[in-house]
A and B are shown apart, each in its own frame.
Chain A
């Protein structure tokens, strides 16, 4: 831990962003990006556990082949609501709105995001969208699936489609505003000397994510708006009875909702790049490739939506192109995985909790990505469409990828955010429990899906029971694993060991402020004279000593 002491931290001030002001009003009207990040942290955690509750109900029902706990109508609502809450209210805002909000200004040496009021507004919009969605759930729920396919959603479903759609529509604007704020901040607010290629990869990933947010989200907004009108006023471009085309809905829906997967995974990849480089104390292998692969994923991500529609009336030639492009996304994704692995090579790895999540991410994301290739292959996809194989695949990306990155990042920056250390032993234990629980939940689903078990049914033929029992057992382990960090993070806010400004001894700009930082982040605007991940090279004596050792053995 001695190699990086190249800078002196300023003498910590007793005043920081948490205790600078007191009272509920100072939180609810704050413009400080760090406080807004905490507001988001609280609310996404709430939605995560609410969505998790629905997941538990699903797994409990599927323990037995018959429908005993839930009947089909209720079951449809439960999986729909699980999907809506997790996708729109947890996964999409999770990393950008919490860690991104907190860290983007700190990592580039700015005092705040470019538009602090818009940042606060985005949280209120998120909250309003969330409340309307919760209203829809309490009033009677939605049963269309999170995909809202027409004409079921416009004509036949008797549930609260409009209210849920309105919630998602409103929530979309919070995502747009966050993306807009990040893009402008990264372009205009970098500290002197913080050139584009000195930016931490977390920033590159957030830049790419923001591009997807601003280009994709407006499309889902107009789509849901048109859907709501279609349902209420019987006007329509999606309903065949009115001369419309339901496949147009699917095109518009997936034009956003496929890139939305990259809104979830890209920030997570940014976190993992930070964790891998910093916990192996080595400059990332191929910085520019990792940076540009984020942009490449964002661009390719917009060109592959048709792979959700291989079994619709979409032309087979379009299908072939979408299939090819879906394979192409694997290239920038693989660039990242290979570069992370190459970074680990001959580095000094420390297995702290964040690193355990990062290593878990590499394995799980690889499985998720590779199974994505099965689904991108036209002929194989026909067999696998709407089976548990798809469910397992996207959970490996969304939970194994996005959630692992989120948890890893939360542990890594927790000392900076809260000024306290989390308990390391419990951290490692829960990371392990989550990893085991996750795999036990979703690996069997690949097999069940491959054997033909369809998704979205509350009952299934008895031969699939063994996989479902394994899966439900895994889900309870996973749920237990998730509770542990929730408890010790809260615990550590009061009882955790006080963290120093730079507890991991790292060169990044965010570690050059005190923990927790002052409201303005830095006493004076920092001047950046170093590259990203600039760890001191091994000293000359070390090198000589090493050669001497090699000579001796020779």
Chain B
């Protein structure tokens, strides 16, 4: 009895000394992540601004360049990420109700889906590399220099320019594409690392109904990274579709 009482005074073993109780600690952790996500929005915001500016300046070039992206792989990746958000949410739920095995399963599924996304992204990047679409001298041995298709040429590896578009402007699109998706992929890689950490500690049964804020907080981060992709997909992949039928 006295032992239980002292436990309730000193709290959970995960309680850090400067917090009064677990509730305060959880609240601080969650708010901290929300604030961090605000900084992330501003970070991506700079690139979204550049995108908006140049899309309105060079609509034809952006449409031409966008048409060259692989819409199927992009759409599959969107589905994969939405599914991973679902499994992440389930992971948080199972942690809160204290079901360890489903919790580990959900987190592992999330990790697998995240890695699937990165794998598909790598395939896409490789295709762009083969078509010499990596902008500037990001890769010294293969500077930007796509083959441009002439009228009647339907080679999908060549760049099909709509009237008014120039190769230089397409390069600008691809720089924005690689900057944004690259930065997004970097966040995915960090997220995968965090998930691995969560899975290891879930196997050690560190989290449960009393202490689940790390799962929640990393879950928030994961959802944020998904949401960034939800914006990137239409902006980068779908914007040129209606030009095709002109």
Contact = CB atoms under 8 A, between A and B. Distances in A.
Contact of A184 (B35, B46, B58, B179): B35
Nearest to A105: B18
Given A218-B40, A219-B43, A235-B171, A243 B28 contact: no
B137 A226 contact: no
B53 interface: yes
A309 to B, nearest CB: 15
B129 interface: no
Nearest to A252: B46
Contacts of A180: 32, 35-36, 39
Nearest to B40: A218
Interface in B27-42: 27-28, 31-32, 35-36, 38-40, 42
B155 interface: no
A223 B39 contact: no
A226 B179 contact: yes
Interface in B178-198: 179
Interface stretch (A81-89, A110-118, A546-554): A110-118
Interface string A225-240: 0100100011111000
B32 A184 contact: yes
Contacts of A114: 18, 28, 32
A242 B172 contact: yes
Interface in B64-122: none
Interface in A229-284: 229, 233-237, 242-245, 248, 251-252
Interface in B13-56: 16-20, 24, 27-28, 31-32, 35-36, 38-40, 42-47, 49-50, 53-54
B39 A184 contact: no
A248 B176 CA distance: 14
| Residue in A184, A214, A245 whose Cβ sees the most chain B Cβ within 10 Å | A184
Nearest to A114: B28
A380 interface: no
Main secondary structure of the interface of A (DSSP, over half): helix
Contacts of B27: 188
A214 B38 contact: yes
Interface residues of B, number: 38
A311 interface: no
Given A237-B176, A243-B169, A223 B46 contact: yes
B137 A218 contact: no
Interface in B140-196: 166, 168-169, 171-172, 175-176, 179
A29 interface: no
A185 B16 CA distance: 14
A517 to B, nearest CB: 14
| Residue in A214, A235, A251, A525 whose Cβ sees the most chain B Cβ within 10 Å | A235
A221 B183 CA distance: 13
Nearest to A213: B39
B208 interface: no
A184 to B, nearest CB: 5
A116 B45 CA distance: 29
B135 interface: yes
Contacts of B168: 242-243
B58 A245 contact: no
A222 B47 contact: yes
B228 to A, nearest CB: 13
Contacts of A115: 28, 32
Q: Report, nearest first, the 10 A-B pairs whose CB atoms are least far apart.
A: A235-B136, A218-B43, A112-B18, A222-B46, A111-B18, A218-B42, A234-B136, A114-B28, A235-B175, A235-B135
8 contacts: A218-B43, A233-B135, A235-B137, A236-B172, A237-B54, A242-B172, A248-B49, A520-B18
Given A218-B45, A237-B54, A245-B53, 19 more contacts: A112-B18, A114-B32, A180-B39, A184-B28, A185-B28, A188-B27, A189-B28, A215-B38, A217-B39, A222-B44, A226-B47, A226-B50, A235-B137, A236-B175, A237-B50, A237-B172, A237-B175, A242-B136, A244-B54
Interface of B: 16-20, 24, 27-28, 31-32, 35-36, 38-40, 42-47, 49-50, 53-54, 58, 135-138, 166, 168-169, 171-172, 175-176, 179
